[in-house]
């Protein structure tokens, strides 16, 4: 048994697939860290990856992760940093193989053990599960999954930290998973490092809160922070967050020295309430965290201490994320200039809608916005604005239908307005909008016993 560390530092490297490419490298080189966690999977990402895999069985994972690993692996191996990432998508094994290839190419063959976590993918098991009474009812609409069964593109259970702990205990230095919760990528390392018990609910909750804070990258260290945003320093070199945890479950949020951004009670609080439901019950596969017990204290510049976190036992369910084909949509835009910019855009919208009606096109929804006036804040935005003085307005009209034909016809009704609608119109350089497939999200629950995570090891 090795000695337990006094503190463990888990760095957040990616808040989503598409986050800053410089961040992981800066996290592993900017100062000491023990773990690097990277979150790649949004709800719809899985269906895109499933589509890639169906065309090519060697794909279906976040390829950017492999590129990142190529850049950071020499440092990671030299410094003994461990990496957790849900970059495996619907093909964690292929992702791990690609990383192992990269490691050998870098001369790190024999120096890297990769853990692969699978068991979350339910796509091939759906009919059996439904036949055995697991109806996978939509959490919002209560409808059973069989209603859309023939249109399902992907189905994944959210796994928790347990298989990550297992992989780390078996010596994996890089752990690549499929649909593991964002928070599990941080909690797993802390459970492993401190030997926290799976039913030590306060510890589990503390690690979950730590994971929630850093899972969106710089969004807790100055990014997207409203309070005094103009005074947050050097955002060009924003420091991504690091959890510096202790065995008792308290932890500090910090960032590397000589980085930009700001870690204070305001920036951390904004991230804590992000995507929050009932704060007394933040449910993960690992346990339930009570966000009303969290205490925050600024202990020094760019260091916030988190303590007091209490947890409750895990539920007997796992969340399942299903993606299914829904229909089609398209969005068209035109820009109208002063004078009467908003009135012109409104007139164009009326004309367009009349033409769609005359054509007999049926849509599930037609949605109009006036960007520069009321697109995001609706009628609230125009309460104290001199509407006649607005310099320009972008008309943005979207349509949605189950069939492609009406959506396609809609896309041909935007450009004519340039010559046969209201005046002072521009901004159509992008050309005709394209109908886009909608793959929608179906949240459900499943009995935990139906899902068995599995861990295998690959040596580079």
Partner 1 sequence: MKKRLVDLAHARSGDKGDTANIGLIALKPKDYPLLVKQVTAARVARHFKGMITGKVERFELPNLYALNFLLHGALDGGGTISLKTDAQGKVFSTALLRMEIEVRK
Binding positions for partner 1, rule: CB under 8 A:
43-44, 140, 224, 226-227, 266, 269-280, 291-296, 308, 326, 329, 331, 365, 367, 369, 371, 375-381, 383, 396, 398-400, 438-441, 443
Q: How far is the CB of 387 from partner 1 (least distance, A)?
A: 16
Nearer to partner 1, 256 or 329 (CB): 329
Smallest CA-to-CA distance from 290 within 313, 311, 273 is with 311
Residues 6+ apart with CB under 8 A from 3: none
Q: How far apart are CA 390 and CA 321, in angstroms?
A: 43
DSSP code of residue 171: T
Residues 6+ apart with CB under 8 A from 416: none
Nearer to partner 1, 88 or 398 (CB): 398
Token pair 């009326």 is found at 350
Nearer to partner 1, 77 or 206 (CB): 206
8 A C-beta contact, residue 250 and residue 307:
yes
Q: How far is the CB of 306 from partner 1 (least distance, A)?
A: 11
Q: How far is the CB of 25 from partner 1 (least distance, A)?
A: 28
Q: Give 303's strand partners.
A: 300
Nearer to partner 1, 9 or 400 (CB): 400
260: cis peptide before it, omega within 30°? no
8 A C-beta contact, residue 406 and residue 354:
no
Nearer to partner 1, 164 or 341 (CB): 341
Q: How far is the CB of 452 from partner 1 (least distance, A)?
A: 28
Q: How far apart are CA 99 and CA 168, in angstroms?
A: 17
Q: How far is the CB of 243 from partner 1 (least distance, A)?
A: 18
Written as six digits, the tokens of 224 are: 């997207």
What is the chain's percent helix, strand, coil content, to nearest 5? 35, 25, 40
Q: How far is the CB of 281 from partner 1 (least distance, A)?
A: 10
Burial class (CB in 10 A: 0-12, 13-18, 19+), 310: middle
Give the DSSP per-residue string, 39-71.
----TTHHHHHHHHHHH-TT--S-HHHHHHHHH
Element (H, E) at 409: helix 404-411
Nearer to partner 1, 236 or 380 (CB): 380
Which alpha helices (DSSP H) does 159-200 contain, by range? 162-169, 184-194
Q: How far is the CB of 173 from partner 1 (least distance, A)?
A: 33
Q: How far is the CB of 57 from partner 1 (least distance, A)?
A: 25
Nearer to partner 1, 292 or 454 (CB): 292
Nearer to partner 1, 293 or 315 (CB): 293
Nearer to partner 1, 68 or 346 (CB): 346
Q: How far is the CB of 237 from partner 1 (least distance, A)?
A: 23
Q: Give 442's strand partners.
A: 322
Residues 6+ apart with CB under 8 A from 424: 336, 337, 338, 339, 341, 344
């Amino acid at each position: 048994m090795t000695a337990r560390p006094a503190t463990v530092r888990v760095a957040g490297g990616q808040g989503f697939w598409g986050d800053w490419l410089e961040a992981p490298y800066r996290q592993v080189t900017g100062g000491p860290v023990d773990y690097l966690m990277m979150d790649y999977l949004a709800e719809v990402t899985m269906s895109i990856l499933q589509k890639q895999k169906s065309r090519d069985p060697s794909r279906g994972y976040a390829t950017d992760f492999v590129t990142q690993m190529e850049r950071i692996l020499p440092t990671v191996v030299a410094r003994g940093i461990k990496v957790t990432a849900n970059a495996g998508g619907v093909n964690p094994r292929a992702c791990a193989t690609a990383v192992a290839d990269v490691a050998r190419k870098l001369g790190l063959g024999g120096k890297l053990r990769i853990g692969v976590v699978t068991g979350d993918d339910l796509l091939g098991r759906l009919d059996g599960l439904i036949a055995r009474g697991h109806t996978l009812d939509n959490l919002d609409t209560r409808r059973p999954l069989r209603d859309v069964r023939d249109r399902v593109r992907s189905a994944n259970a959210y796994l928790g930290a347990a298989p990550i702990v297992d992989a780390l205990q078996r010596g994996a230095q890089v752990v690549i998973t499929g649909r593991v919760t964002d928070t599990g990528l941080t909690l797993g390392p802390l459970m492993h490092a401190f030997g926290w018990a799976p039913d030590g609910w306060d510890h589990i909750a503390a690690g979950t809160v730590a994971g929630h804070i850093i899972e969106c990258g710089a969004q807790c260290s100055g990014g997207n922070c409203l309070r005094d945003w103009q005074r947050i320093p050097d955002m060009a070199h924003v420091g991504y967050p690091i959890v510096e945890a202790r065995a008792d479950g308290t932890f500090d949020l910090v960032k590397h020295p000589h980085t930009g951004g700001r870690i204070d009670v305001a920036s951390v609080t904004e991230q804590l309430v992000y995507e929050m439901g009932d704060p007394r019950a933040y449910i993960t596969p690992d346990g339930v965290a009570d966000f009303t017990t969290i205490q925050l204290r600024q202990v020094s510049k760019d260091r916030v201490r988190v303590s007091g976190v209490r947890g409750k036992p895990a539920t007997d369910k796992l969340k399942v994320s299903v993606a299914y084909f829904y229909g089609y949509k398209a969005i068209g835009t035109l820009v109208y200039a002063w004078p009467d910019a908003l009135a012109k855009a409104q007139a164009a919208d009326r004309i367009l809608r009349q033409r769609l009606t005359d054509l007999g096109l049926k849509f599930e929804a037609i949605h109009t916005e006036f960007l520069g006036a009321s697109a995001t804040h609706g009628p609230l935005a125009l309460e104290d604005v001199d509407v006649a003085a607005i310099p320009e307005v972008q008309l943005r009209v979207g349509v949605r239908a189950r069939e492609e034909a009406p959506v396609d016809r809609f896309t041909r009704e935007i450009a004519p307005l340039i010559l046969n609608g209201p005046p002072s119109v521009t901004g159509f350089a992008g050309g005709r909008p394209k109908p886009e497939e909608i793959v929608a999200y179906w949240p459900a629950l499943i009995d935990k016993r139906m899902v068995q995570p599995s861990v295998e090891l690959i040596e580079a």
